[in-house]
Protein backbone atom coordinates (compact mmCIF):
# COMPACT_ATOMS: atom_id res chain seq x y z
CA UNK A 1 0.00 0.00 0.00
CA UNK A 2 1.24 3.50 -0.80
CA UNK A 3 0.15 6.43 1.34
CA UNK A 4 0.91 9.88 0.03
CA UNK A 5 1.57 12.45 2.74
CA UNK A 6 -0.72 15.45 2.47
CA UNK A 7 -3.22 13.64 0.27
CA UNK A 8 -6.74 14.88 1.14
CA UNK A 9 -9.46 12.45 2.18
CA UNK A 10 -13.04 12.88 3.31
CA UNK A 11 -13.20 13.11 7.08
CA UNK A 12 -16.40 11.64 8.53
CA UNK A 13 -17.86 13.59 11.47
CA UNK A 14 -20.06 12.13 14.23
CA UNK A 15 -21.38 14.27 17.09
CA UNK A 16 -21.89 11.94 20.08
CA UNK A 17 -23.30 12.23 23.56
CA UNK A 18 -20.19 11.95 25.78
CA UNK A 19 -22.07 10.17 28.59
CA UNK A 20 -24.43 7.98 26.54
CA UNK A 21 -22.76 7.65 23.12
CA UNK A 22 -25.20 6.67 20.36
CA UNK A 23 -24.54 3.05 19.47
CA UNK A 24 -24.97 3.45 15.70
CA UNK A 25 -22.31 6.17 15.56
CA UNK A 26 -19.85 4.22 17.69
CA UNK A 27 -20.39 1.10 15.56
CA UNK A 28 -19.70 3.07 12.37
CA UNK A 29 -16.56 4.67 13.83
CA UNK A 30 -15.43 1.24 15.10
CA UNK A 31 -15.87 -0.17 11.58
CA UNK A 32 -13.48 2.54 10.36
CA UNK A 33 -10.90 1.35 12.92
CA UNK A 34 -11.42 -2.29 11.93
CA UNK A 35 -11.06 -1.28 8.29
CA UNK A 36 -7.61 0.21 8.93
CA UNK A 37 -8.67 3.88 8.99
CA UNK A 38 -7.84 6.53 11.58
CA UNK A 39 -10.49 7.99 13.90
CA UNK A 40 -10.07 10.87 16.37
CA UNK A 41 -11.99 10.46 19.63
CA UNK A 42 -12.28 12.16 23.03
CA UNK A 43 -10.65 10.80 26.16
CA UNK A 44 -10.69 12.45 29.59
CA UNK A 45 -7.20 13.90 28.93
CA UNK A 46 -7.08 15.18 25.32
CA UNK A 47 -8.45 13.97 21.95
CA UNK A 48 -6.57 10.98 20.56
CA UNK A 49 -6.00 9.96 16.95
CA UNK A 50 -6.64 6.23 16.93
CA UNK A 51 -5.93 3.21 14.75
CA UNK A 52 -5.97 -0.57 15.27
CA UNK A 53 -2.83 -1.20 17.34
CA UNK A 54 -2.32 -4.60 15.69
CA UNK A 55 -2.43 -3.19 12.15
CA UNK A 56 0.97 -1.67 11.22
CA UNK A 57 -0.37 0.02 8.06
CA UNK A 58 -3.17 1.71 9.99
CA UNK A 59 -0.71 2.83 12.66
CA UNK A 60 1.52 4.28 9.97
CA UNK A 61 -1.37 6.56 8.93
CA UNK A 62 -1.29 8.18 12.39
CA UNK A 63 2.37 9.14 11.95
CA UNK A 64 1.63 10.59 8.51
CA UNK A 65 -1.43 12.60 9.58
CA UNK A 66 0.43 14.08 12.56
CA UNK A 67 3.81 14.49 10.90
CA UNK A 68 5.09 12.61 13.93
CA UNK A 69 8.76 11.55 13.98
CA UNK A 70 8.94 7.77 13.44
CA UNK A 71 11.02 7.30 16.63
CA UNK A 72 8.28 8.64 18.92
CA UNK A 73 6.15 5.71 20.15
CA UNK A 74 2.38 5.69 20.66
CA UNK A 75 0.22 4.96 23.69
CA UNK A 76 -2.07 1.94 23.25
CA UNK A 77 -5.57 2.33 24.71
CA UNK A 78 -7.48 -0.64 26.10
CA UNK A 79 -11.00 -1.19 27.42
CA UNK A 80 -10.40 -4.53 29.20
CA UNK A 81 -7.59 -6.04 31.23
CA UNK A 82 -7.65 -9.02 28.83
CA UNK A 83 -6.43 -6.62 26.11
CA UNK A 84 -3.58 -5.45 28.35
CA UNK A 85 -2.48 -9.05 28.86
CA UNK A 86 -2.12 -9.49 25.09
CA UNK A 87 0.08 -6.41 24.82
CA UNK A 88 2.65 -6.99 27.58
CA UNK A 89 4.89 -9.84 28.75
CA UNK A 90 3.94 -9.53 32.41
CA UNK A 91 2.26 -7.18 34.85
CA UNK A 92 4.48 -6.49 37.90
CA UNK A 93 2.57 -6.49 41.24
CA UNK A 94 3.12 -2.74 41.72
CA UNK A 95 1.71 -2.04 38.26
CA UNK A 96 -1.32 -4.20 39.09
CA UNK A 97 -1.84 -2.11 42.23
CA UNK A 98 -1.82 1.11 40.23
CA UNK A 99 -4.18 -0.34 37.63
CA UNK A 100 -6.68 -1.22 40.37
CA UNK A 101 -6.47 2.29 41.78
CA UNK A 102 -6.20 4.52 38.70
CA UNK A 103 -7.74 2.73 35.71
CA UNK A 104 -9.71 3.79 33.88
CA UNK A 105 -7.84 7.09 34.20
CA UNK A 106 -4.95 9.32 33.13
CA UNK A 107 -2.09 6.95 33.97
CA UNK A 108 -0.02 5.28 31.23
CA UNK A 109 2.22 2.34 32.13
CA UNK A 110 5.32 1.45 30.13
CA UNK A 111 5.92 -2.32 30.27
CA UNK A 112 7.93 -4.92 28.28
CA UNK A 113 5.93 -5.55 25.10
CA UNK A 114 4.58 -8.87 23.85
CA UNK A 115 5.58 -10.24 20.44
CA UNK A 116 2.19 -9.31 18.98
CA UNK A 117 2.70 -5.55 19.35
CA UNK A 118 4.09 -4.20 16.06
CA UNK A 119 7.34 -2.23 16.30
CA UNK A 120 5.60 0.55 14.38
CA UNK A 121 3.59 1.27 17.53
CA UNK A 122 6.57 1.27 19.90
CA UNK A 123 8.94 2.96 17.44
CA UNK A 124 11.29 0.00 17.64
CA UNK A 125 11.35 -0.19 21.45
CA UNK A 126 10.84 -3.45 23.37
CA UNK A 127 8.43 -1.69 25.73
CA UNK A 128 4.87 -0.58 25.12
CA UNK A 129 2.91 2.26 26.74
CA UNK A 130 -0.66 1.30 27.72
CA UNK A 131 -3.60 2.96 29.42
CA UNK A 132 -7.36 2.59 29.91
CA UNK A 133 -9.09 5.94 29.30
CA UNK A 134 -11.90 7.17 31.58
CA UNK A 135 -14.29 8.26 28.85
CA UNK A 136 -17.44 6.50 27.68
CA UNK A 137 -16.83 7.30 23.99
CA UNK A 138 -13.24 6.01 24.03
CA UNK A 139 -14.15 2.83 25.90
CA UNK A 140 -17.14 2.06 23.66
CA UNK A 141 -15.08 2.68 20.54
CA UNK A 142 -12.38 0.24 21.70
CA UNK A 143 -15.01 -2.35 22.70
CA UNK A 144 -16.83 -2.24 19.38
CA UNK A 145 -13.59 -2.17 17.38
CA UNK A 146 -12.56 -5.32 19.27
CA UNK A 147 -8.89 -4.34 19.30
CA UNK A 148 -6.62 -2.11 21.38
CA UNK A 149 -6.35 1.34 19.80
CA UNK A 150 -2.99 3.07 19.41
CA UNK A 151 -3.59 6.80 19.83
CA UNK A 152 -1.33 9.79 20.35
CA UNK A 153 -2.85 13.24 20.77
CA UNK A 154 -4.81 14.26 17.65
CA UNK A 155 -2.76 17.35 16.76
CA UNK A 156 -0.03 18.10 14.25
CA UNK A 157 3.25 17.14 15.92
CA UNK A 158 4.68 19.98 18.02
CA UNK A 159 1.42 21.99 18.17
CA UNK A 160 -0.82 22.40 21.25
CA UNK A 161 -2.85 19.28 22.04
CA UNK A 162 -6.58 19.23 21.22
CA UNK A 163 -9.16 19.40 24.01
CA UNK A 164 -12.16 19.83 21.69
CA UNK A 165 -13.24 18.52 18.30
CA UNK A 166 -12.80 22.03 16.89
CA UNK A 167 -9.08 21.88 17.76
CA UNK A 168 -8.77 18.48 16.06
CA UNK A 169 -10.53 19.60 12.89
CA UNK A 170 -8.30 22.66 12.60
CA UNK A 171 -5.21 20.42 12.38
CA UNK A 172 -6.59 17.20 10.94
CA UNK A 173 -9.55 17.80 8.63
CA UNK A 174 -8.99 15.95 5.36
CA UNK A 175 -6.07 13.97 6.83
CA UNK A 176 -7.99 11.45 8.97
CA UNK A 177 -10.82 8.99 8.42
CA UNK A 178 -13.25 10.37 10.96
CA UNK A 179 -13.85 12.18 14.23
CA UNK A 180 -16.17 11.50 17.15
CA UNK A 181 -17.08 14.86 18.68
CA UNK A 182 -17.86 14.33 22.35
CA UNK A 183 -17.38 17.92 23.52
CA UNK A 184 -14.53 19.28 25.63
CA UNK A 185 -12.25 16.98 27.59
CA UNK A 186 -12.39 17.09 31.38
CA UNK A 187 -8.77 16.73 32.58
CA UNK A 188 -7.34 18.77 29.70
CA UNK A 189 -3.70 17.65 29.77
CA UNK A 190 -2.15 14.33 28.90
CA UNK A 191 -1.73 11.25 31.05
CA UNK A 192 1.15 10.60 33.40
CA UNK A 193 3.63 8.21 31.74
CA UNK A 194 5.19 5.82 34.28
CA UNK A 195 8.01 3.52 33.17
CA UNK A 196 8.15 0.07 34.78
CA UNK A 197 11.04 -1.19 32.68
CA UNK A 198 13.69 -0.05 35.20
CA UNK A 199 14.22 -1.06 38.88
CA UNK A 200 12.47 2.02 40.24
CA UNK A 201 9.22 3.13 38.53
CA UNK A 202 10.02 6.39 36.77
CA UNK A 203 7.72 9.22 35.72
CA UNK A 204 8.67 10.02 32.12
CA UNK A 205 5.94 12.60 31.71
CA UNK A 206 3.98 14.25 34.56
CA UNK A 207 0.24 14.31 33.98
CA UNK A 208 -3.25 13.72 35.30
CA UNK A 209 -2.10 11.41 38.15
CA UNK A 210 0.38 13.18 40.43
CA UNK A 211 3.64 11.91 41.95
CA UNK A 212 2.08 12.30 45.42
CA UNK A 213 -0.80 10.01 44.41
CA UNK A 214 1.66 7.40 43.10
CA UNK A 215 3.83 7.64 46.21
CA UNK A 216 0.90 6.55 48.36
CA UNK A 217 0.97 3.15 46.65
CA UNK A 218 4.57 2.59 45.52
CA UNK A 219 7.68 2.04 47.65
CA UNK A 220 9.63 4.43 45.48
CA UNK A 221 8.92 6.64 42.44
CA UNK A 222 11.47 8.63 40.49
CA UNK A 223 11.06 11.60 38.22
CA UNK A 224 13.08 11.21 35.04
CA UNK A 225 16.18 13.48 35.03
CA UNK A 226 14.50 16.15 32.93
CA UNK A 227 11.73 16.41 35.50
CA UNK A 228 14.08 16.61 38.47
CA UNK A 229 15.86 19.49 36.86
CA UNK A 230 13.27 21.83 35.40
CA UNK A 231 16.11 23.91 33.95
CA UNK A 232 17.02 20.87 31.86
CA UNK A 233 20.61 19.61 31.70
CA UNK A 234 21.73 17.50 28.77
CA UNK A 235 20.47 13.95 29.15
CA UNK A 236 19.59 10.92 27.08
CA UNK A 237 15.81 10.77 26.88
CA UNK A 238 14.22 7.60 28.24
CA UNK A 239 11.02 8.53 26.49
CA UNK A 240 11.74 9.42 22.88
CA UNK A 241 8.97 12.02 22.83
CA UNK A 242 10.79 14.08 25.44
CA UNK A 243 13.40 15.37 23.04
CA UNK A 244 10.93 17.04 20.67
CA UNK A 245 9.42 20.50 20.73
CA UNK A 246 5.90 20.21 22.10
CA UNK A 247 2.62 21.98 22.66
CA UNK A 248 3.87 25.12 20.91
CA UNK A 249 1.59 27.84 19.59
CA UNK A 250 2.78 29.95 16.63
CA UNK A 251 3.65 32.97 18.80
CA UNK A 252 6.68 33.14 21.11
CA UNK A 253 5.65 32.11 24.59
CA UNK A 254 7.41 33.46 27.70
CA UNK A 255 6.97 32.37 31.33
CA UNK A 256 7.28 35.17 33.88
CA UNK A 257 8.72 33.75 37.11
CA UNK A 258 8.61 35.76 40.33
CA UNK A 259 6.27 37.05 43.04
CA UNK A 260 2.79 37.89 41.75
CA UNK A 261 3.31 41.63 42.24
CA UNK A 262 6.61 41.70 40.34
CA UNK A 263 5.26 39.42 37.60
CA UNK A 264 2.24 41.64 36.99
CA UNK A 265 4.46 44.74 36.76
CA UNK A 266 6.88 43.04 34.38
CA UNK A 267 4.12 41.68 32.16
CA UNK A 268 2.52 45.14 31.85
CA UNK A 269 5.89 46.61 30.89
CA UNK A 270 6.61 43.85 28.33
CA UNK A 271 3.17 44.15 26.73
CA UNK A 272 3.66 47.88 26.16
CA UNK A 273 7.18 47.42 24.77
CA UNK A 274 6.13 44.74 22.32
CA UNK A 275 2.99 46.57 21.27
CA UNK A 276 5.19 49.57 20.41
CA UNK A 277 7.04 47.26 18.01
CA UNK A 278 3.70 46.44 16.37
CA UNK A 279 3.39 42.97 17.89
CA UNK A 280 0.14 41.44 19.07
CA UNK A 281 0.56 40.35 22.68
CA UNK A 282 -1.53 37.89 24.71
CA UNK A 283 -1.47 37.53 28.50
CA UNK A 284 -2.44 34.26 30.21
CA UNK A 285 -3.13 35.07 33.84
CA UNK A 286 -4.97 33.96 36.97
CA UNK A 287 -8.29 34.95 38.47
CA UNK A 288 -6.36 36.67 41.25
CA UNK A 289 -4.43 38.95 38.88
CA UNK A 290 -6.62 39.65 35.86
CA UNK A 291 -7.91 42.99 37.14
CA UNK A 292 -4.36 44.41 37.11
CA UNK A 293 -4.22 43.95 33.34
CA UNK A 294 -7.40 45.93 32.77
CA UNK A 295 -6.44 49.24 34.40
CA UNK A 296 -5.19 52.70 33.36
CA UNK A 297 -5.70 52.40 29.60
CA UNK A 298 -3.53 49.30 29.58
CA UNK A 299 -4.83 46.63 27.23
CA UNK A 300 -3.30 43.35 26.12
CA UNK A 301 -4.46 42.24 22.65
CA UNK A 302 -5.84 39.08 24.25
CA UNK A 303 -6.33 38.44 27.96
CA UNK A 304 -7.18 34.91 29.07
CA UNK A 305 -7.89 33.90 32.66
CA UNK A 306 -6.75 30.31 33.10
CA UNK A 307 -8.32 29.98 36.56
CA UNK A 308 -7.52 30.54 40.22
CA UNK A 309 -3.95 29.96 41.39
CA UNK A 310 -5.53 27.66 43.97
CA UNK A 311 -7.40 25.58 41.41
CA UNK A 312 -4.82 23.85 39.18
CA UNK A 313 -7.44 21.43 37.80
CA UNK A 314 -9.28 24.28 36.09
CA UNK A 315 -6.00 25.71 34.78
CA UNK A 316 -5.17 22.27 33.32
CA UNK A 317 -8.58 22.05 31.66
CA UNK A 318 -8.26 25.49 30.06
CA UNK A 319 -4.58 25.62 29.08
CA UNK A 320 -4.65 24.13 25.57
CA UNK A 321 -7.82 25.99 24.60
CA UNK A 322 -6.02 29.20 25.58
CA UNK A 323 -3.02 28.29 23.41
CA UNK A 324 -5.36 27.53 20.49
CA UNK A 325 -7.02 30.92 20.96
CA UNK A 326 -3.62 32.61 20.77
CA UNK A 327 -3.05 30.93 17.40
CA UNK A 328 -6.57 31.71 16.15
CA UNK A 329 -6.12 35.40 17.06
CA UNK A 330 -2.61 35.53 15.51
CA UNK A 331 -0.77 36.48 18.67
CA UNK A 332 2.97 37.13 18.14
CA UNK A 333 3.88 37.07 21.83
CA UNK A 334 2.25 35.12 24.69
CA UNK A 335 3.15 36.06 28.27
CA UNK A 336 2.20 33.51 30.92
CA UNK A 337 2.33 33.90 34.68
CA UNK A 338 4.02 31.04 36.48
CA UNK A 339 1.42 28.98 38.34
CA UNK A 340 1.97 26.99 41.57
CA UNK A 341 3.43 23.50 41.04
CA UNK A 342 1.01 21.78 43.46
CA UNK A 343 -0.94 18.71 42.33
CA UNK A 344 -1.64 18.72 38.62
CA UNK A 345 -0.05 22.21 38.57
CA UNK A 346 3.30 20.45 38.16
CA UNK A 347 2.17 18.89 34.89
CA UNK A 348 0.60 22.18 33.79
CA UNK A 349 3.90 24.03 34.26
CA UNK A 350 5.73 21.19 32.49
CA UNK A 351 3.56 21.76 29.40
CA UNK A 352 3.85 25.54 29.55
CA UNK A 353 7.61 25.26 29.91
CA UNK A 354 7.82 22.99 26.86
CA UNK A 355 5.56 25.32 24.90
CA UNK A 356 7.91 28.18 25.78
CA UNK A 357 10.98 26.35 24.45
CA UNK A 358 12.55 27.36 27.81
CA UNK A 359 11.94 31.10 27.44
CA UNK A 360 11.69 31.99 31.13
CA UNK A 361 12.01 35.51 32.45
CA UNK A 362 13.22 35.35 36.07
CA UNK A 363 12.53 38.38 38.26
- Taking the C-alpha atoms of residue 289 and residue 315, their distance in angstroms, rounded to an integer, is 14
Contact 204, 224 (CB under 8 A): yes
> Nearest-CA neighbor of 191 among 351, 355, 26, 21?
351
Binding part of the chain for ligand AMP, among 9-17, 71-79, 226-234, 312-320 by CB under 6 A, reads: 71-79
**Shortest CB 315 distance to ligand AMP, Å:** 19
Binding part of the chain for ligand AMP, among 127-135, 315-323, 332-340, 348-356 by CB under 6 A, reads: 127-135
Query: Which CB, 205 or 266, lies closer to ligand AMP?
Result: 205
Among 22, 69, 72, 361, binds ligand AMP (CB under 6 A): 72
Q: Does 75 bind ligand AMP (CB under 6 A)?
A: yes
**Shortest CB 66 distance to ligand AMP, Å:** 8
Q: How would you list the strands of the sheet with 12-15, edge to edge?
A: 12-15, 178-181, 39-41, 48-52, 149-150, 75-77, 127-131, 107-112, 192-195, 202-205, 222-223
Q: Interaction with ligand AMP in 279-338: which residues (CB under 6 A)? A: none
Among 128, 137, 305, 344, binds ligand AMP (CB under 6 A): 128
Query: Which CB, 245 or 262, lies closer to ligand AMP?
Result: 245
Give the residues lining the site for Mg ion (CB under 5 A): 153
**The entry of Mg ion, ligand AMP, none that residue 256 binds, CB within 5 to 8 Å by partner kind:** none
Q: Does 129 bind ligand AMP (CB under 6 A)?
A: yes
Query: Which CB, 150 or 315, lies closer to ligand AMP?
Result: 150
Distances (CA, A) of 238 to 31, 117, 198, 299: 35, 20, 10, 43
Query: Which CB, 127 or 164, lies closer to ligand AMP?
Result: 127
Query: What phi and psi, each to the nearest 5 degrees, are found at residue 348?
Result: -60, -50
Q: Does 193 bind ligand AMP (CB under 6 A)?
A: yes
Contact 220, 238 (CB under 8 A): no
> Nearest-CA neighbor of 76 among 154, 27, 26, 132?
132
Q: Does 239 bind ligand AMP (CB under 6 A)?
A: yes
Classify 143 in phi/psi space as left (phi over 0), alpha (psi -120 to 50) or beta: alpha
Binding residues (CB under 6 A) for ligand AMP: these are 72-73, 75, 110, 122, 125, 127-129, 152-153, 190, 193, 204-205, 239-241
Amino acid sequence: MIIIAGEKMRTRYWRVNPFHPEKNKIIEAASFIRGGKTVAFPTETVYGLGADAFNPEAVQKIFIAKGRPADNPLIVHVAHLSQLKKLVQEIPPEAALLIRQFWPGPLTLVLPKSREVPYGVTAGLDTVAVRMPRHKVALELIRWAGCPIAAPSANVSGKPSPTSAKHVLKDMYGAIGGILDGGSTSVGIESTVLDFSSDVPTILRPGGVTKEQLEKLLKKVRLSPERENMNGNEFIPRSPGMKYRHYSPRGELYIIRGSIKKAVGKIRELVLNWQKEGKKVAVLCSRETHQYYQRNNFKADLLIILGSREDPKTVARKLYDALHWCDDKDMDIILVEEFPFEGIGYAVMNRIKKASGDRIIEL
